[in-house]
Each structure stands twice: as C-alpha cells, then as structure tokens.
Amino acid sequence: MAATSTSAGRTDDPRQEFADFLQRQAKQSGLKVREIAELFEQEARKEEQAAEGGSGSLPEHPVRKMSFSKSHLARLFKAQALPNPPWPFTLQFLRITSRTAGLTKEEHQERCGEARELLRAIAALPKTAALPEPGQSSDVRSHSPHEAVVALQHEVELERARHTETRLRYALRDAQFLATTLWRIISALRDIICDHDTLVARAQHSHPDPDALDQLRSETRQALTHKRTAQEQVDLATTRIRVLEAAWEQARAEVSRLLFHPDTADLMSVPSGTAPSQSMLPEDLLAQPTLDDIATALDRAQALNTQEERTARDLQRSLASASPLQPDDERAVLLAATKLTSNALAQQAAADGLAQGWSGDTEACDALIRLTHAEDYGVRRTAAEALAQGWPGDAKARDALIRLTNDKAQIVRGAAAVALGQGWSGDVEARDAVMPLIEDPVREVRGAAAYVLQQSWPDAVRLPAPDSPVSSGDGDPPSGRRRFRRRPRP
C-alpha cells in the first residue's frame, strides 16, 4: 500500500501536530479508536503470557503500563492529552498502525523519525504549557460530557463486578459451612451406629431386654437413614461448591481487569467478610435426643440446600448474561451511575448529565428525586439544580424541592429556593415553601430566598432588601452553583 503524505500543514503547537500525525496514521491503517485499544490489549496479553510461560520477560516499558484506553486515545487525537509513556507508547502505536496499513520497513522508520521529532518539540515546550496527564483526578465532573459518560460507565461496571464477586464469595462460604456441618453430622451418626452395634453385641451375650434391643435397633435404622440423607445433601453442596468456585474465579478476573484499567477511578476496596463463629454439635447427648436433633438439622439442611441451589443458578445466569454498558447508551450509564452510593462525585456527574441530555425523561426525573435523599449534601444540592434545569413545572420534582427547603444543610436549602424560583415561578406551593426561608438563621439563605421571591413572585409580599448581595448584575437569578459554593459538611 502506498504511503500517504505525512507533511501536512504545520502549526505552532507541536501537540496539535502530534495529534494530527496520530490521526493520519490511524486513518491510513483503517483502524478506529476501539480497534486500536483492542490491539494494544492483545499485545499486552502476549507479553504477559510469554513472561508467564518462561519464554521471555516483560520489557522495560510493558504495554500494560501504557495509557491506551479508548477515552485516552480519543483525547490524544484531539490534542487534549500526551502519550504515556511518550516514546514507548508512540512506538507501539506505530507498530500496530504500520503493520495494519502494510507499510514497508523504510516507511515505518520514516514515521518513527517524524514522531520522535514531534515528541522532542513537545518536550521542549515550557512546563506551564504541558497538558496534565489523564487519570490524575477522580473527579469525573471535570471531564467533557462524553468522557464523563465513559468514566461513569467504567465505575458502574466495576461496581457491578464487585457486587457479583462478593455475592459469589458469600455463597461459597455458606456452601462450605453447610458441607462442613453435614460432614460433622455424618461423623456423629457413624459414632452412634458403631456404639449401637457394640451394645447389641453385648446384649446378645447376656440376658437381653427385648425392649432395649428393639430400641437400639430402631435407633440404628434411624441413624443409617439419616446418614444416607446427609450424604445426599453433602454431595449436592460439594457439587455446588465446585460450580461456585469456577464462577467466583471468573468474577474475580473481571474485577481485576477493571481495577487495572487505565481509567479506573480510586475507589475504596470492599472489606473481606469474616465467617461468624458457629457452635459445634453437642457431644454429650444420648442417642435418641441426638437423632431427633439431627433429623431436624437435616430437614433444615435440605431446605437450605434447595434454596442455595436456586441462588447459585441465579448467580450463574447473572454472570453469563451480564453485558457491559456501552458509552453510546448514555442514558443507561447515567441512570446506573446515580446508584453508586459510595461515590458522590459520580452521582453528581450523573445528575448533571441527565439534566443536560435527558430533560423531561420520566425515569431520569425519578432518579434525580431519589438523589435528593442522598446522604451527601453535595449530591442533594446537585440534584436540586438538575431538577430545575431539566424538569421545570413538573409536580413531582417541585415536591422534592419543597422538601429540600427544610434540609439540614444550608447550601441545600438555598439551592432548593433558587431552583423553585427558576423552574416554578408563579407556583403558589413553591412560593409558600420559599417564604419561610426569609427568616432562615443563615444570612446567605435569607438573601437568596428574598431575591427569588422578588424575581419569581413579585406581588406575593413586600420584602425588605436582601441582606446580602445575590444579584449577578444582569437581572438573572443567582445560579445555585455560583451562589452556594461547597462548604464544610454541617
């Protein structure tokens, strides 16, 4: 294939020139961003398999340590990021694209020389002009809308994978404990059977009591029956353990893959649960009471085994049917991200995205109303702003904001007042909810409430001038975010 010209018009910014260079390479190879990221992943696996098989060792700059995610490549093509690490990444990128484009060795070397010159020019830029490396901050709200969705998608998938792995881990623990208990029951039954055989033999050589012999033989038969039942149940539990173990290995590998992804945000690890201490079977009971207890335990074990079998099948089905969210399905990603209760920043970013791209959507509105109950006051404030932006006039959204006017956090009360004025101007119930805030103990909340009432309900009541400046100077009501900046948690 003939090489295309690489002498495109130069600009004063070597970073833009480098981005244009990468785009030309990708275009000539016919590869899309997703395909390039997949080829990087394949090269990383080849290196790791070679190192594990003993046929080689990892190079100084392994592919796995490079930033090659789809979002990072997209930023590179837009001159919004730098290659990481610069030359090893660029060389690997050129190997992939040149091989796919069918370039000759001389053409490939020519591209390598051009790329090296561009990297030198980027390195010579003043430090203040250098772009920050992606991934240094976990604040997904600072990303562009598309990048925010990609970041939220990854965190949602990681949260789902960890949840599945945790469920499997606890299911394994329960199955192992059940199997252990059943083995102890079987051991106790063996002891009873052996003791009864001895007692029957002794009775045969003395003057046996027919009633006592009948009792011993009856208990022996019960013990043998219980032992068969226990063996059947322990076999079921053991089979389930093997199935769950394989499923857990698969789930753990998925969590590990997501954790090592270059775009992974810093999340708290899920603490490992410890099995509670369990009481042992009593050892000092007589045979019949012990057999009665064992019969009851076996009934419960059988019911538990049946229930756990259904749980294991459900876990297997969920693991097999779990399909990763696609960044193109922005609505599904954002709705799922609102449920990341351990990540307030992700919930705020999701609220922003729903308000901007899915205003009027009923399910999105319900998700934001749910966020007004969030523990983090920043999430509640963002949800209030989003409801006013995307669902003005909606009765359910209004009722949620009315409730927030009584929030314990002053920043949320103020944001709720501003939101009601923006989205429900002229609404009587909204006005009645804002009115009490003119006597709020916090000065900023009083000022915001007074301003909102003057702007949205000018004929409602004669109000004194706000005791704090809230106007932006252009007649618009103050934005919740500009007016109420994040303060220490009350």
With b meaning 16 or more CB within 10 Å and e meaning fewer, what string describes 328-361? Answer: eebeebbbbbbbbeebbbbbbbbbbbbbeebeeb
The residues, any chain, with a CB within 8 Å of residue 89's CB and separated by 6 or more, are: 66, 67, 68, 83
Q: What pLDDT is recorded for position 2?
A: 40
Q: What is the pTM of this model?
A: 0.43
Q: What pLDDT is recorded for position 397?
A: 93
Instruction: Judge contact between 308 and 240, C-beta under 8 A.
Output: yes
d(CA 34, CA 50): 25
Q: What pLDDT is recorded for position 210?
A: 80
Q: What pLDDT is recorded for position 144?
A: 55
What single-letter amino acid sits at 114?
Answer: E
What token pair was written down for 363? Answer: 């399910």
84: closest CA among 16, 134, 34?
134
134: closest CA among 113, 156, 150?
150
**What is the residue whose two structure tokens read 């939220």?**
152
3: closest CA among 108, 134, 96?
108
SS3 203: helix
d(CA 61, CA 57): 11
What single-letter amino acid sits at 433?
Answer: A
d(CA 379, CA 155): 17
Query: Would you give the DSSP letter of residue 456?
Result: H
Q: What pLDDT is recorded for position 293?
A: 67
What token pair was written down for 18? Answer: 């480098």
Q: In what helix (H) or strand (E) does residue 172 lie, and over which residues does it extend? A: helix 145-204
Radius of gyration in angstroms for the set of CA atoms belonging to the chain, rounded to a whole number = 34
Q: What pLDDT is recorded for position 128?
A: 36
Residue 314, φ and ψ in degrees, nearest 5? -65, -40
Instruction: Judge contact between 253 and 165, C-beta under 8 A.
Output: no
- Taking only the tens of pLDDT, the chain with its 490 residues reads 444 444 444 556 888 889 899 999 999 989 888 889 889 888 888 887 877 776 666 777 788 888 888 777 887 888 877 888 888 899 989 999 998 888 898 888 899 999 888 888 888 776 433 333 333 334 444 455 666 676 777 677 777 777 777 887 887 788 788 888 887 888 888 888 888 888 878 777 777 678 777 888 888 888 888 888 888 887 887 887 888 778 778 777 877 777 766 555 444 333 344 444 443 333 443 466 666 766 777 777 777 767 776 766 666 666 555 555 544 478 888 888 888 888 888 888 889 889 888 888 899 999 999 999 999 999 999 999 999 999 999 999 999 999 999 999 999 999 999 999 999 988 999 999 999 999 999 999 999 999 999 988 887 655 454 444 333 333 334 444 333 333 343 3
Q: Give the C-alpha distances (Å, rounded to integers) separating 110 from 3, 88, 106.
A: 10, 16, 6
